[in-house]
Amino acid sequence: MEALWAPWRMSYILGEEKPAGCIFCLAVDGVGCDDLVLGVGRTCLAMMNKYPYNNGHVLVAPKRHVPDLAALDEAEQADLMFNVRLATLALKELMNPDGFNVGLNLGRAAGAGIEEHMHFHVVPRWNGDTNFMTVLGEVRSVPEHIRATHAKLRPFFAKMR
């Protein structure tokens, strides 16, 4: 039998306190989340998802604290998509996934966990990456520690504009 190891999820499971304030705004300000931030650009930032759906789950958000796409100006929209593309290219080169789930959840009813600061999820996927554990036990196996993945991805995000 193999052991699953994802120690960073324990605070989520136990419902421990979340940081005071928006995690994206804290990341922009350089307060906390240092081990999750991949890069901060002119209008956007990218960071690892602390509670990933899959290995390499990246979040891309505008630096400005806005709830939806309508609040973004054209430059922010373009930069956001540029950085979503950068995330997919970095993950493709580093992890060689078979595909991606890329999307955003706008509003609590749509599944947004942080509904007041919109953000894209970029989730690499591999053929066969779901198994009986996900279906029966609602458990995902994340084989690499988040800090190891972060260290490998961070150089790619030096390209953020």
Active site residues: 119
Quote the CA–CA distance of 50 and 48 in Å, as a whole number. 6
Identify the three-state secondary structure at position 71.
helix
Which residues lie across from 47 on neighbouring strands? 37, 59
CA 90-26-32 angle, to 5 degrees, is 80
Question: At 7, which amino acid appears?
Answer: P
Q: Which residues contact 76 (CB under 8 A, 6 or more apart)?
A: 43, 44, 62, 64
Contacts 24+ apart (CB under 8 A), 28-31: 28/63
